[in-house]
Structure 1
């Protein structure tokens, strides 16, 4: 199917870039898609202030009429019910069929806050009304007083953008429902688990064995977490740890890799899950014994069958990544899951369409971090982004700080959580006095918790993972002779 011209009477194509005169049409499609996505709060705000005249094409007006028909009789408003209503009215083929209705939902997931687009639709409606009044009054040779009277009446009864404000009582009720849900939980892990006991905590029935983690909620929806380290310290293995834990929890996961191709990411996952062979064995696997191949096949079958995972090594701009996330959400919902968390393996390797132009690097990075924070909030997902620390972070054997983030103070400002990694051996080698597996983790920033905590992990880079550190033997002094 070819993409329609922006001014064609069509529901449009998800992801199609509008020209400067088509933003009103884009907003109309976003509003319809959000209504179809079942956002009850948005439906309560939008339906009372929208009319058929709010939409400028026969297709969008037909879809809106189907939505209002369902609303009047109290039926559920979603894509399947609207498709059925259009079909019963012999209008479905005219709007482009079921696929066109579904694309409205997909497109609504790829844009900014839908409430902003509702406001744009209301404002555009009022501008058209003003234009119609002025044209009619001029044609009738009305007096200035008559013109002003008509405009005053229009202002009083026209589109009032203030009605798009959220209801405070609804927000309080939603929070109360969330509190009640948390009361019934076995642990405070409301987000996606990290897989690390020090972060998630240990919630044993025995109170004496319980331990509150440094991120007791896990990676929470609408939050941006940064994993920050210098090259060679181990942030890739750490991110693979988090990805594996998320997938095993049943979460829908998208992993953007701007540093490595998808096949290398899969190899790291298989290596970490098999736990038998170092990474270099997979480069030349001729001496892997039969039982090893059986284990590899078992792991591949398990992750293919049970993980809801999309690995994208092409999308490097915010717009492309947003489209991938929207498509992934539709895919995961078809699988009975949802999009819960998104990973970006190297924020400094993202790009701006057409280059950053006159922008400085720190300004561009600020756009990327703000974009990821906005995507987390708008799509209601957790976001985990790997970032590089600057060179000064390796001076001496010191732990990383927030001001070590390379390129932008916006990274620190936008992040809800910053997890810093420090591996002394990666900096000083044998002269550091540390072993290669010692990895120190610093909770540099925790917006809703205590920052400054430090704990250790065992870095097992050759197995593409980290683990709980083994208890260290405490030397016992020899008794005096």
Structure 2
């Protein structure tokens, strides 16, 4: 239990001098076991994850707590539940038994200071990274493995990575290192890391690339939730990639009704009212195999969803071996801000959420689809990027912006020459043409959007 996780590069290293604070590590874990509200603030400080802990047993306990927290809408986190989880994985004895978990709780001066203890743990982890970088440079110099200039450059890169918390190692950054991989992508003809949408016309204009924040805006009832669920279902069910839908607007039952309606072509109102006829049941049974095998299609309707909870859910998916290929957040302005100041305006809070989703996309290297609401004054006219409710920062943070517009009659009814249609206006597109409009068929009764000519 006392074996250090950090291993020295030199045999004569005095391991007792390795930067670490066992009391702070115990206090962090004890605070998490005592009060689950501190788990998110602590995890946001420990950017290195479990590796920020010096002791392997503490790493195991931390990962177990995070997994339990992410696996349930209302997680029960205490020494008993964590001990049960560790026992089921065969690791309880390795961390010191249930008695050690209770000792962690007793070691906490106050759970409210959990993020402060976490900062101490994180600082020591960064110091260990600095030591590793300097000793690696020393080893290269002693063996004359490279020229002095090359050793210095490598050392500077390692030290910068240690200071920022970025991973060290063999990272390919130069043009020379990237070139052949780029040529391979050109020969294939597509970006292997990009995702497509279920609408071929939109695919001609927009490509969903890793690290992008794609914002889809609409007025109330304008079809943004349909867009998000249809896109998520395409990536998860058709392309077979793990997807997370974080819904702040609908519960799990309503999400399942909309998904089933779109996939089985059963009228949505019948599914919601649970009034199906024999023909409807036949369609539901036909769609059943795809639904029963959709274990990687995660619908999270947890109350008060925050960026921390979405990040925790993504880590939980990764721990299962199915890291999310895309995240859909429905919708941005309903998200709960973390650590908001008492004097913060709603515009500032939404700006923080928008920036947080962008950083989430970059951190996990996946596209994040943020659905967003328009202001009331956008109803009845062509929307603009300035119509987003509560904040103009959404426009700045987004790589791609798609505005949804339904060409309704003057009385608001879905009649006229373009009845049953919806326009997807690509208002911003950093990697392609902007200003394009793609018309789709709006099938609200089936909770889906379809390409023109497809029924």
TM-score bucket (shorter structure): 0.5 to 0.7
Contact 2:202 / 2:438 at 8 angstroms: preserved in 1? no
Q: The residue matched to 1:459 in structure 2 has which SS?
A: strand
Question: Could you tell me which residue of structure 2 aligns to residue 299 of structure 1?
Answer: 287
Which of 236, 248, 251 is equivalent to 2:241?
Answer: 251
| C-alpha deviation, 1:287, in angstroms | 5.0
Question: Could you tell me which residue of structure 2 aligns to residue 140 of structure 1?
Answer: none
Distance (Å, rounded) in 2 between the aligned partners of 1:11 and 1:287: 50
- Decide whether aligned partners of structure 1 residues 118 and 381 sit closer, same or farther in structure 2, where only a CA change above 3 A counts: farther
The alignment's TM-score, normalised by the length of structure 1, stands at 0.62
| C-alpha deviation, 1:288, in angstroms | 1.2
- Asked if residue 393 in structure 1 is aligned to residue 384 in structure 2, the reply is no
| C-alpha deviation, 1:30, in angstroms | 2.7
| C-alpha deviation, 1:306, in angstroms | 4.1
Matches within 5 A, 1:261-300: 261-275=251-265, 277-289=266-278, 291-300=279-288
Question: Could you tell me which residue of structure 2 aligns to residue 458 of structure 1?
Answer: 441
| C-alpha deviation, 1:253, in angstroms | 0.3
Q: The residue matched to 1:320 in structure 2 has which SS?
A: helix
Contact 1:6 / 1:18 at 8 angstroms: preserved in 2? no
| C-alpha deviation, 1:302, in angstroms | 1.3
| C-alpha deviation, 1:178, in angstroms | 3.6
| C-alpha deviation, 1:343, in angstroms | 0.5
Question: Could you tell me which residue of structure 2 aligns to residue 367 of structure 1?
Answer: 352
Contact 1:237 / 1:464 at 8 angstroms: preserved in 2? yes
Matches within 5 A, 1:69-88: none
- Asked if residue 348 in structure 1 is aligned to residue 333 in structure 2, the reply is yes
RMSD: 4.1
Question: Could you tell me which residue of structure 2 aligns to residue 403 of structure 1?
Answer: 386
- Decide whether aligned partners of structure 1 residues 406 and 9 sit closer, same or farther in structure 2, where only a CA change above 3 A counts: closer
Contact 2:40 / 2:308 at 8 angstroms: preserved in 1? no
- Decide whether aligned partners of structure 1 residues 16 and 394 sit closer, same or farther in structure 2, where only a CA change above 3 A counts: closer
Question: Could you tell me which residue of structure 1 aligns to residue 152 of structure 2?
Answer: none
Unmatched runs of 5 consecutive residues or more in structure 2: 1-21, 62-90, 98-114, 116-120, 132-154
Question: Could you tell me which residue of structure 2 aligns to residue 194 of structure 1?
Answer: 197
- Bigger Rg, which one: 1
Question: Could you tell me which residue of structure 1 aligns to residue 366 of structure 2?
Answer: 381
- Asked if residue 30 in structure 1 is aligned to residue 49 in structure 2, the reply is yes
Which of 23, 26, 40 is equivalent to 1:8?
Answer: 26
| C-alpha deviation, 1:424, in angstroms | 2.2
| C-alpha deviation, 1:167, in angstroms | 8.6
Question: Could you tell me which residue of structure 1 aligns to residue 38 of structure 2?
Answer: 17
Can you list the C-alpha shifts for 1:433-469, whole angstroms capped at 9, x where unaligned?
A: 4544121110011111111111211111111111112
Question: Could you tell me which residue of structure 2 aligns to residue 221 of structure 1?
Answer: 210
Contact 2:375 / 2:388 at 8 angstroms: preserved in 1? yes
Distance (Å, rounded) in 1 between the aligned partners of 2:192 and 2:202: 10
Q: How many residues align?
A: 349
